Amino acid sequence: MFDGLKDKLSSFREDAAEEVEEKAAEAEAEAEADERAEAESEDAGAVAETEADTAPAEPDESGAIEEEPDDDDGPTASRFTRAKAFATGKVIIEEEDLQEPLRDLEFALLGSDVEMTVAEEILDTVREKMLGEARAQIETTDQLVTEALHDALLEVISVGQFDFEERIAAADKPVTVVFTGVNGVGKTTTIAKLSEWLEDRGYSSVLANGDTYRAGANEQIGEHADALGRKLIAHDKGGDPAAVIYDGVEYADANDIDVVLGDTAGRLHTSNDLMAQLEKIDRVVEPDLTLFVDESVAGQDAVRRATEFNDAAEIDGVVLSKADADSSGGAAISIAYVTGKPVLFLGTGQEYDDLVQFDPEALVDELLGEE
């Protein structure tokens, strides 16, 4: 999962650390050269003094003795500051050290289908966290780069994050969860997986097929219900999806079922009649949560669709299916930052237990982990 992105981040870390180390070594060499030059000029000055008894340096008007050599014939202020820091066991990171690595990071992120504004935010945070940073020479630069990247990724990935299980636990029962998204992205499979995920945590669920549009939809979700031993509420093709999910809620109420999982027909946000159906479901059933399902592999297309769905019929969270087939991870990195709605689950295969609760910290650790 997300192996391409992981490799790219790993190369960025190596290159950035190397570049910063190189600049630090240059600063060290310069510091040594400056020290030597200073010592030599002091020697020469001592000789000259004995020969011509010249006056010692006077404090300037403010009373301070000028410490930093001027730009024309000495090291630049930044070189001087760096050299001074180096002499006290520190390495200072400067804008120019980061230019190339950050450009590489930008390519890596965009190449992994990370949305532009998200990539920019990550770059800004890394730059901000590293610039002017003085680290002890004994710390590795790689550590510093990794920490900056960790914070930058976590910041964008964890936007709006909440604990789904806590939400289910705290809500009045039955909890109604409705799933939306375009065709064929894995909504129905996700519902079956989530039903199993809930069962594993002690919550019962009923499936309600609000996809009254597609021929064969009842049979498809029915197979999952049979395999899992769950009750399915379904109406004939062409029926009212809001009525099906409403019946699901009634059934759950009457039978002490904790969660109603409502499927809906795959649709484009531009299909007005289908979007009107979602509004009606919202009105009639008042779902506790509306989850948008899309394929992780769809990258920025998934981000765009999530935004469009959220605008048309507000979503509460996102499930990214087929993360097992996704090497780039662009959607997982970008979607929460762009939509303000968190990724709650990743689909990681075709089996019922291939559903993983999304944990931003764990994902960042995984992305930055050793191969």
Ligand X SMILES: Nc1nc2c(ncn2[C@@H]2O[C@H](COP(=O)(O)OP(=O)(O)OP(=O)(O)O)[C@@H](O)[C@H]2O)c(=O)[nH]1
Nearer to ligand X, 152 or 191 (CB): 191
If one asks whether residue 357 binds ligand X (CB under 6 A), the answer comes out as: no
CA nearest 143: which of 7, 20, 6?
20
Which residue in 266, 287, 329, 330 binds ligand X (CB under 6 A)?
A: 266
Q: Counting contacts by CB under 6 A, is residue 324 touching ligand X?
A: yes
> Which region holds residue 173: left if phi is over 0, alpha if psi is between -120 and 50, else beta?
beta
User: From the list 176, 189, 290, 328, which residue makes contact with ligand X (rule: CB under 6 A)?
Assistant: 189
Structure tokens at 138: 């004994």
Note whether 186 binds ligand X by CB under 6 A: yes
Residue nearer to ligand X on the CB measure, 88 or 270: 270
- Measured CA to CA, the distance from residue 12 to residue 269 in angstroms comes to 37
Stretch that binds ligand X, among 125-133, 180-188, 234-242, 330-338 (CB under 6 A): 180-188
Decide if residue 165 touches ligand X (CB under 6 A). Answer: no
244 lies in the binding site for ligand X (CB under 6 A): no
Binding site annotation covers 6? no
Exposure letters 62-90 (e unless 16+ CB within 10 A, then b):
eeeeeeebeeeeebeeebbbbbbbbeeeb
**Residue 183 makes contact with ligand X by CB under 6 A:** yes
Q: Given the rule CB under 6 A, which of 149-157, 233-241, 281-289, 341-349 is the region that contacts ligand X?
A: 341-349
Residue 298 DSSP label = G
If one asks whether residue 74 binds ligand X (CB under 6 A), the answer comes out as no
Q: Which stretch binds ligand X (CB under 6 A): 39-47, 143-151, 211-219, 230-238?
A: 211-219
Burial call 9-33: b when 16+ CB within 10 Å, e when fewer: bbebbebbbebbeebbeebbebbee
In angstroms, what is the C-alpha Rg of the chain? 30
Give dist(CA 345, CA 291) in Å, integer.
Answer: 10
Taking the complex as a whole, the smallest distance from the CB of residue 120 to ligand X amounts, in Å, to: 30
Q: Does 301 bind ligand X (CB under 6 A)?
A: no
E strand map for 244-296 = 259-264, 289-295
φ/ψ bin of 186: left (φ > 0), alpha (ψ from -120 to 50), beta (otherwise): left
- Say if residue 347 carries a ligand binding annotation: no
| Residue 185 in the binding site for ligand X (CB under 6 A) | yes
Angstrom distance (rounded) from CA 370 to CA 354: 24
Position among 141, 158, 300, 321 found at the interface with ligand X (CB under 6 A): 321
- Binding residues, by number, are 181-188, 263-267, 321-324
Binding site residues, ligand X, CB under 6 A: 183-189, 211, 214, 217, 266, 321-322, 324-325, 347-350, 354
- Binding residues for GTP, by number, are 181-188, 263-267, 321-324
